[in-house]
A and B are shown apart, each in its own frame.
Chain A
Amino acid sequence: MRVTQGMMTANSLRYSQSSYQRLSTLYDQISAQKKITRFSQDPVVAAKSMQHRQSLAQMEQYKRNVNEAHSWLNQGDTSLKEVSSILKRVRELAVTGSTDGYGEEERKNIAHELEELRNHLITVANANVNGKYIFNGSDTDNPPVQELSPSKLNGEKLDNVKITYDGQIYDYDADAGHFVASGGDDTLVLNGEAIETGTGDVVAEKDMLIMRISTNQQDVSFELQKGVEIQVNTDARKLFSDELYSDFFMFEQALLDPETTAEDLGEFISKIDAHLRNAADVHGQLGARMNRVDLMEDRLGQQEYFVKETKSMNEDLDLSEAIMKLLVAEGVHNAALAVTARIIQPSLLDFLR
Chain B
Amino acid sequence: MSTFFGMETMRRAVNTNRTAIQTVGNNVANVNTPGYSRQRVNLQATGGYPATGVWTQPAMNGRVGSGVQVTGIERIRDQLLDRQYRAEAHVEGAAFIQYKILERMEDLYNEAPSDTTTSRLSDQFASFWNGWKELASGKDSQAVLLEQGKAVTDAFTHLQDSFQTEMDMLETEAELTTAKVNQILEQLHATNKDIIAAESSGQVPNELYDVQDRLLDQLSSLVPIQVSRSPKPPEHAATGAEGPYKVELKLGGSETITLVDATEEAPQLLTLEDGMQWTVGDSNQPFTYNGAGGGELVGLQKAHERVGQELEDIKALAQTFAKEVNQIYAFAYSEQGGFGQEFFTIHLDDSGAFSHISVNSELSNNPKALATARFNEEGIKPEYQDEFAEKWAAWENDKDNEEAFRDLLAFLNEADHYVDGKMIIEGNVDVAKEISRLEDSAAIIGKYKDMMGKLGVETKAQRDLTEASNARLANTESNRMAVSGVSLDEEMSLLIQFQHAYNAAARAMTAMDEMLDQIINRLGVVGR
Interface: B107 (CB within 8 A): yes
Give CA–CA (A314, B496) in the complex, Å: 65
Task: Identify which of B112, B113, B134, B481 contacts A64 (C-beta below 8 A).
Answer: B134
Question: Interface segment, B222-230, B449-457, B506-514?
Answer: B449-457
Kindly list chain B residues whose C-beta atoms are within 8 Å of the C-beta of A222: 136-138
Interface: A103 (CB within 8 A): no
Give CA–CA (A352, B138) in the complex, Å: 91
Give CA–CA (A7, B490) in the complex, Å: 14
Do A7 and B126 contact each other (CB < 8 Å), given the known contacts A40-B463, A46-B112, A68-B139?
no
Q: Quick one: closest B residue to A159, CB to CB?
A: B421
Q: Quick one: closest A residue to B436, CB to CB?
A: A223
Task: Identify which of A11, A61, A140, A314 contacts B427 (C-beta below 8 A).
Answer: A140
Task: Identify which of A38, A49, A60 contacts B103 (C-beta below 8 A).
Answer: A38
Interface: B441 (CB within 8 A): no
Contact in complex: A348, B489 (CB < 8 Å): yes
The contact string, 1 if C-beta is below 8 Å from chain A, for chain B 41-64, is 000000000000000000000000
Kindly list chain B residues whose C-beta atoms are within 8 Å of the C-beta of A41: 112, 460
Interface: A138 (CB within 8 A): yes
Contact in complex: B427, A39 (CB < 8 Å): no
Question: Interface segment, A29-37, A115-123, A250-258, A329-337?
Answer: A29-37
Give CA–CA (A140, B140) in the complex, Å: 11
Interface: A5 (CB within 8 A): yes
Interface: A4 (CB within 8 A): yes
Q: Quick one: closest B residue to A229, CB to CB?
A: B433
Contact in complex: B427, A138 (CB < 8 Å): yes
Kindly list chain B residues whose C-beta atoms are within 8 Å of the C-beta of A142: 426
Do A2 and B487 contact each other (CB < 8 Å), given the known contacts A10-B477, A58-B439, A64-B134?
yes
Give CA–CA (A314, B139) in the complex, Å: 35
Do A50 and B111 contact each other (CB < 8 Å), given the known contacts A5-B31, A6-B486, A348-B492?
yes
Kindly list chain B residues whose C-beta atoms are within 8 Å of the C-beta of A10: 474, 477-478, 481
Give CA–CA (A4, B275) in the complex, Å: 46
The contact string, 1 if C-beta is below 8 Å from chain A, for chain B 133-167, is 11011110000000000000000000000000000
Interface: B459 (CB within 8 A): yes
Give CA–CA (A338, B124) in the complex, Å: 49
Minimal beta-carbon separation of B329 from chain A (angstroms): 18
Interface: A109 (CB within 8 A): no
Give CA–CA (A11, B492) in the complex, Å: 23
Kindly list chain B residues whose C-beta atoms are within 8 Å of the C-beta of A4: 481-482, 485-488, 490
Q: Which of A52-77 contact B (CB under 8 A)?
A: 53-54, 57-58, 60-61, 64-65, 68-69
Do A220 and B138 contact each other (CB < 8 Å), given the known contacts A4-B485, A4-B486, A50-B452?
yes
Give CA–CA (A68, B136) in the complex, Å: 12
Interface: B398 (CB within 8 A): no
Minimal beta-carbon separation of A297 from chain B (angstroms): 15
Interface: A182 (CB within 8 A): no
Kindly list chain A residues whose C-beta atoms are within 8 Å of the C-beta of B122: 50, 53-54
Do A218 and B427 contact each other (CB < 8 Å), given the known contacts A36-B112, A40-B459, A46-B452?
yes
Kindly list chain A residues whose C-beta atoms are within 8 Å of the C-beta of B436: 223
Kindly list chain B residues whose C-beta atoms are within 8 Å of the C-beta of A60: 130
Q: Quick one: closest B residue to A131, CB to CB?
A: B140
Contact in complex: A7, B482 (CB < 8 Å): yes
Give CA–CA (A38, B129) in the complex, Å: 25
Kindly list chain A residues whose C-beta atoms are within 8 Å of the C-beta of B490: 4
Contact in complex: A65, B482 (CB < 8 Å): no
Task: Identify which of A6, A32, A65 contacts B137 (C-beta below 8 A).
Answer: A65
Give CA–CA (A3, B484) in the complex, Å: 10
Interface size class of A (residues with CB under 8 A): 35 or more
Q: Quick one: closest A residue to B109, CB to CB?
A: A39
Interface: B518 (CB within 8 A): no
Kindly list chain A residues whose C-beta atoms are within 8 Å of the C-beta of B127: 57
Do A54 and B492 contact each other (CB < 8 Å), given the known contacts A36-B112, A46-B112, A218-B428?
no
Interface size class of B (residues with CB under 8 A): 35 or more
Give CA–CA (A68, B137) in the complex, Å: 8
Task: Identify which of A40, A50, A57, A315 contacts B130 (C-beta below 8 A).
Answer: A57
Minimal beta-carbon separation of A41 from chain B (angstroms): 7
Interface: B445 (CB within 8 A): yes
Interface: B429 (CB within 8 A): yes
Minimal beta-carbon separation of B17 from chain A (angstroms): 18
Kindly list chain A residues whose C-beta atoms are within 8 Å of the C-beta of B107: 38
Task: Identify which of B426, B463, B482 contacts A216 (C-beta below 8 A).
Answer: B426
Interface: A192 (CB within 8 A): no
Contact in complex: A349, B114 (CB < 8 Å): no
Interface: A244 (CB within 8 A): no
Interface: B186 (CB within 8 A): no
Give CA–CA (A49, B116) in the complex, Å: 14
Minimal beta-carbon separation of B432 from chain A (angstroms): 10
Interface: A212 (CB within 8 A): no
Name which of B130, B138, B483, B486 has the most chain A CB atoms within 10 A of its CB: B138
Contact in complex: A137, B427 (CB < 8 Å): yes
Interface: B328 (CB within 8 A): no
Contact in complex: A5, B487 (CB < 8 Å): yes
Minimal beta-carbon separation of A256 from chain B (angstroms): 37
Give CA–CA (A10, B436) in the complex, Å: 58
The contact string, 1 if C-beta is below 8 Å from chain A, for chain B 446-475, is 000100110111111001000000000010
Q: Top 3 nearest A-B pairs by Cβ distance?
A: A43-B456, A40-B459, A138-B427
- Pick 11 A–B contacts, CB within 8 A, sort by A: A38-B106, A40-B456, A40-B457, A46-B456, A54-B439, A57-B129, A60-B130, A64-B137, A137-B427, A140-B427, A349-B489
Residues in chain B within 8 A of chain A (CB atoms): 31-32, 102-103, 106-107, 109, 111-116, 122-123, 126-127, 129-130, 133-134, 136-139, 421, 425-429, 433, 436, 439-440, 445, 449, 452-453, 455-460, 463, 474, 477-479, 481-483, 485-490, 492-493, 496
Residues in chain A within 8 A of chain B (CB atoms): 1-7, 10-11, 14, 32-41, 43, 45-47, 49-51, 53-54, 57-58, 60-61, 64-65, 68-69, 132, 136-142, 159, 216, 218, 220, 222-223, 226, 314-315, 347-349, 352
Can you name 9 extra interface pairs (CB under 8 A) apart from A4-B482, A39-B459? A5-B489, A32-B116, A34-B114, A36-B112, A57-B130, A132-B138, A137-B427, A222-B138, A352-B496
